[in-house]
Structure 1
Amino acid sequence: MTPPPTAAPALPAPAAVDPRPTRDPGAGRRTHPATGGALVLVGMLLVALNLRAVVTSLGALLDEVRDGLGLSGVTAGLVTTLPTIAFAGLGALTPWLVRRVAPARVLVVAMFALAVGQVLRVATDSALIFVLTSALALSGIAVANILLPMLVKQHFPHRTGLVTGAYTMALTVGTTVAAASAVPIAHAFGSWRAGLGVWAAMAAVAVLPWVPLALRTRAAARRATPTAVVATPPRVRPARTRLGWAMAVYFGAQSLSGYAIMGWLAQLFRDAGYQPESAGLLLAGVTALGVPIALLMPTLAGRLGSLRPLVLGLTTASALAYLGLALAPHGAALLWVALLAIGQGAFPMILTAIGLRARTAEGTVALSAFAQSTGYVIAALGPLMVGILYEATDGWTAPIGFLLGALAVQTTAGMAIARPRYVEDE
């Protein structure tokens, strides 16, 4: 007997899918905070360990690399400026890439490029190939820089501060270990190539968690039914917002000071009378003290209603450190190092703010890309201007004055991002 027309109400069954976004492979991958949970977190921490090792290991062995490859002063300058160029240029392309390829698959390629680039650059005797393969390695870092804040927003929306703190701490640990151990490793193996190449293994390990995640994403896409429609979110354009520009200026100004400190602080302490080994240890102290700060700062930023107290506190610490370095660099060096480490807490704070100032994963990756790519263009001026002023004046008053000026710009931008609001709303 044919069922009467009143049987039609059975059709609302598809509505049961709505409360469970994981049933839709495409939507689940973007919105469900538990997707890949522990594996994603492990993968993020391994990626973060690699984000500066390729840079700081080269800085520690730059003299040996210059002698080994016969690099000119211009080429050596290009190599040391290459990270900020790569981070700015390639980072800007990441949102376009993520709209077309799943983040897990992008990170597989990024970490593979980082590992291969590091292997190839220690296997050549050509200065040109060394520069090109260094750029290949840095391209992987540039993409990962942008993706990590987005992954925090996507997978851990209620643990933004904690997870950001964990990966920025991993980044700081990787930076410190690479800077401290590159020279001993090179000496142990009798070649600078070992001191640079060993970090390729760490990049290769970072690929491993993302392979099953990429395969899972691909399988989910294949299972999607032809009728499943995933709404395309509107594009977020931070360059058209005041918040986006404030974030970019703050990120750029704090990165400018960070790269200037990494490049020139040891020389400042040597000029103040410290032996080279002691000057190097004081520089390492800034990074080492930054490890607990990197862990705590994002959690603190996530709990505060306004970032104003943090912005002003970090500015005060940096200003006191700069004034101390200008007036009494030898007498209270440990105090200035501690204050510099506190001031550099602006880096994990701004990474946290990227997630806090966007409502969606799409907004986060757009804001991350714009703030970091534009910011690294600004950051490239730091070591360059400090070097020019140091050479022109044969002293540290002018370079430190320049850093204080950059700090004033950073603080002004920080006040603009302190109040809670979202880039999508602008």
Structure 2
Amino acid sequence: MTEGSSASRVHPVWLAVSAVLLLAVNLRMAVSSVGAVLPDVRDGSGLGGFATGLLTALPPFCFGIAGLTGPAIARRIGLHRTALLTLVLIAVGQVVRAAVPGALWLFVGSVVALAAIALANVILPSIVREMFPGRIAGMTAAYTVVMSLAQAMVAFSTIPLMHAFGGDWRLGIGMWAAVAVLAVLPWLPLARHEAPPVRTSAHRLPLRTIARVPKAWILALFFGSQSMQAYIAFGWYPTLLRDEGLARQSAAAQVGIVSVAATIATIFAPTLLGRLRRPAIVTWVLFAGYVLGYLGLLAWPLQLTTLWSILIGIGQTYFPIALYVVNLRAKTPTGVLSLSGFMQSVGYIWAGTGLLLLGTIHGRSTDWNGVLVVMIGLVCLLQILAVVSVSRWSIEEELRERRLLPAGAAR
């Protein structure tokens, strides 16, 4: 894969932008749609506490394990062809889990869709670096805003659309496959005309080499900790509010409010992070949002619920910051690809482990106070990791100090 290639030099900028944003739209839908109807899925499929916890933990586990293959696949077939492949698999997985009866196929279809999303998660920072080298912060903000808007749309509309078309939870988790099919269209010309990747070890940073850098682990745990917080909102927040007494549609809509708040904050956060002399200031604002939101849910879950959702949404802006920071921590697109693969794989496995433990221990209990206390503690850990991650360093410099930089890597 060449370092200087850019799709925008061959195709119109509008096509490149459309392709990236439509890919980003699909990175939340397969997850958020399950969260919107989780109690229905649980009851309709006869899932127990462990199985329900596993279902909500599948996204980070799949993202972590399948994400390990992202750099290798992208180097072999190219970034654009990998993006096209992910969209096809996202559509297929969502159709399978919705259309084929049985709990087994619910999990099989979910694994296919989520593994494809994992690949897309890993390659997106490199795609942005390659296509828009002068607008990394702006495009990172744009595609993460689109992701948040898509999450909000799914949260607000899954149940009303499900009822409008006379369907059950299977329609709710399957109908979003149509969006993945639509997203395939702009990637067809980009994939068709992509130059064959150059298979070379130059600039490649193997994951086992990156794993020898402590700051890379801190970055990965930072990403994983923010993912754990985010997937609590995707998977459990509507159930928490329903257990507190909120109506089903109102509880699902609160996830939409979380997403809208995250969208607005995302417009500003990456740009501020790049301009401030002390970028950690941004992360302290997000930390305050999370803590105040969780404290509000502990004390008054049904009073000022929208305010708590807004504050939690502000906290979720850790996500675009992590995606922006990984672009700053490496000096080449393939370096970003390798570091992104390590960060997301380790981070998502960490997040999945926490979610599985949470779902198993919590089970079918309707008391969420213990969970909220644990989440506040995890936010404290998240902020410590964030402060180190946003400090100025690069993976190449860290490797050079340890004399681990491969021959031909960027200097």
**Residue aligning to 1:94:** 70
Aligned-pair CA distance for 1:32: 8.1
1:208 aligns with 2:185: yes
2:220 counterpart (237, 245, 248): 248
1:382 is displaced (CA, Å) by: 4.2
Residues 262 and 314 in structure 2, CA contact (< 8 A), matched pair in contact too: yes
Q: Secondary structure at the match of 2:236?
A: helix
- SS of residue paired to 1:99: helix
**Tell me, what secondary structure is at the counterpart of 1:334?**
helix
Within 5 Å, give how 1:24-173 maps onto structure 2. 27=2, 30=5, 34=9, 36=11, 37-66=13-42, 69-71=45-47, 74-173=50-149
Distance 2:121 2:162 in 1: 28
Q: Compute the displacement of 1:81 (Å).
A: 2.2
Cα deviation code 1:323-360 (max 9, x no counterpart): 22223334433332221111111111111111121111
Distance 1:198 1:162 in 2: 31
Alignment partner of 1:411 is 2:383: yes
**CA spacing shift, 1:71–1:357, aligned 2, 3 Å:** same
Relative to structure 2, which stretch is displaced further, 92-101 or 77-86? 77-86
Is the counterpart of residue 315 in structure 1 residue 292 in structure 2? no
| Contact 2:122 2:337 (8 Å CA) reproduced | yes
Larger relative contact order (C-alpha < 8 A, sep ≥ 6)? 2
1:365 and 2:348 matched: no
Gaps of 5+ in 2: 399-411
Match of 1:139, SS state, is helix
The 1:122/1:280 distance shift into structure 2, 3 A limit, reads closer
> Counterpart in 2 of 1:399?
371
Change (3 A) 1:149 1:28: closer
**How far off its partner does 1:278 sit?**
3.4
1:27 and 1:230 in contact (8 A); partners too: no
Following TM superposition, by how much is the alpha carbon of 1:162 offset from its aligned partner in structure 2, in angstroms?
A: 0.7
State the Cα distance separating 1:215 from its structure 2 match. 1.4
Are 1:152 and 1:164, in contact at CA under 8 Å, matched by a contact in 2?
yes
Q: Does 1:258 align with 2:230?
A: yes
Q: Which residue of 2 aligns with 1:6?
A: none
Confirm or deny: 8 A CA contact 1:385 1:399 kept in the other structure.
Answer: no
3-state DSSP class of the match of 2:331? coil
**Kept in 2: contact 1:57–1:179 (CA 8 A):** yes
Q: In structure 1, how many angstroms separate the alpha carbons of the residues matched to 2:238 and 2:199?
A: 57
Residue 269 of structure 2 is aligned to residue 289 of structure 1: no
- Aligned partner of residue 77 in structure 2, secondary structure: coil
Q: Aligned to 1:232, which of 194, 202, 206?
A: 202
Match of 2:308 in 1: 336
Work out whether residues 389 and 398 of structure 1, in 8 Å CA contact, stay in contact via their aligned partners in 2.
no
Deviations 1:16-46 (A, max 9, x none): xxxxxxxxxx647646874544322211100
Rate the CA distance shift 1:386–1:233 in 2: closer, same or farther, 3 A: closer
The percent of aligned pairs where both chains have the same amino acid is: 35
Task: Measure, in 2, the Cα distance between the counterparts of 1:324 and 1:420.
Answer: 34
Q: Is the CA contact (8 Å cut-off) linking 1:256 and 1:381 kept in structure 2?
A: no
Query: Are the equivalent residues in 2 in contact too, given 1:262–1:283 (CA < 8 A)?
Result: yes
The RMSD of aligned alpha carbons is 2.7
**Aligned partners of 2:65, 2:134: CA distance in 1, in Å?**
31
Kindly state the Cα deviation for residue 271 of structure 1 after the two structures are TM-superposed.
Answer: 4.9
Q: Which whole-Å deviations, capped at 9, do the CAs of 1:155-183 have from their partners, x for residues lacking one?
A: 21221111001101111111121222222
Question: Which one has a bigger Cα radius of gyration?
Answer: 1
- The 2-side partners of 1:298 and 1:163 are apart by 10
Structure 1 residues 322 and 61: CA distance shift in structure 2, 3 A: closer
Structure 1: distance between partners of 2:98 and 2:367: 36
- Please state how far the C-alpha of 1:390 moved relative to its aligned partner: 4.9
Q: Report Cα offsets for 1:305-338 as digits up to 9, x if no partner.
A: 4421112221122122222222333443333222
For 2:97 and 2:199, the matched residues in 1 are separated by 45
Equivalent pairs, count: 394
Q: After the TM superposition, which of the residue ranges 69-78 and 47-56 deviates more from structure 2?
A: 69-78
Alpha-carbon contact 2:144-2:320 (below 8 Å) kept = yes
2:123 touches 2:337 (CA, 8 Å); kept in 1? yes
TM (norm. structure 2) is 0.87
Structure 2 partner of 1:198: 175
User: In 1, Cα distance between the equivalents of 2:121 and 2:25?
Assistant: 12
Q: Is the 8 A contact 2:223 2:322 kept in 1?
A: yes
For 2:251, which of 264, 272, 279 is the aligned residue?
279
TM-score relative to the length of structure 1: 0.84
How many angstroms apart in 1 are the aligned matches of 2:36 and 2:200?
Answer: 49
Corresponding letter in the other structure for 2:54? L
More deviation in 46-55 or 322-331? 322-331
Mean alpha-carbon deviation: is it higher for 177-186 or for 96-105?
177-186
Label 1:263 to 1:396 Cα distance change in 2 as closer, same or farther (>3 A): same
Structure 1 residues 215 and 283: alpha-carbon distance in aligned structure 2, compared to 1, 3 A threshold: closer
Q: Distance in 2 between matches of 1:366 and 1:28?
A: 13
SS in 2 for 1:122: helix
In 2: Cα distance, 1:308 partner to 1:79 partner: 34
CA contact (8 A) 1:307 1:417 kept: no
Question: 1:258-309: CA deviations, max 9, x gaps?
Answer: 2123333334444555444433333331122222222222222232344211
Name which of structure 1's ranges 374-383 and 402-411 shifts more when overlaid on structure 2.
374-383
Are residues 323 and 370 of structure 1, via their aligned partners in 2, closer, same or farther at CA, if it must alter by over 3 Å?
Answer: same
